[in-house]
Structure 1
């Protein structure tokens, strides 16, 4: 298992392309590839694709720093993101501020940026697509949590 990877795969229920553009602006994501359902070498099985989804995103991947996130519209127009958040650690306070502000556009701040015992600059936001983000200044962890 030396080459094992766990990578997030997000389903946007018809809003994937919009989400990709949003993340390009908000957190400087770089789109690596994008394949639409109507560009696939094989058609989806009969009845699995919602009418009107032919030009939606079948598969995309994007990078944020060294990290790859994969995404799709899925096969239906609903999506829900619960039970997880993506953690984004950045090297400067200015980058944290910029990313947090970008992700907050159209979203909901659940914890404003501030000092915590684990980070001098940390905040949480749910973006306009329902993805939870924990944004923090990249720091050395404390020697202990006593």
Structure 2
């Protein structure tokens, strides 16, 4: 039992906390990528259905069925609106995924720093460095 052990276990606790945060962020990233893929699939389906409606419109016009042609054109316009909505959602999920990826990079940097601190602590050099070269000014230095 010593202050050194307390410090060591605090560092270990911090390390595992950061690892946990990384895994949570990775889960969020997977969710965003999955949702983006779902929206891309729906967008592709809407594009197909819009094209089918436009083909139906041409077919109905050729047959002289203007009412049905107009209905097909209206349905195609609705699909275009759905496609625009899907594109917005896709961009939103991509933006959110990029943000999470950046957060993961920051957490990985933090993890490396904590692992370095643990390694220094285990080698016994960190206590000596901190005592001989304080990083922050102390109250005594101001007097």
The TM-score bracket by the shorter chain reads: under 0.3
Higher helix fraction: Structure 1 or Structure 2?
Answer: 2
TM-score (norm 1): 0.18
Higher strand fraction: Structure 1 or Structure 2?
Answer: 1
Higher radius of gyration, 1 or 2: 2
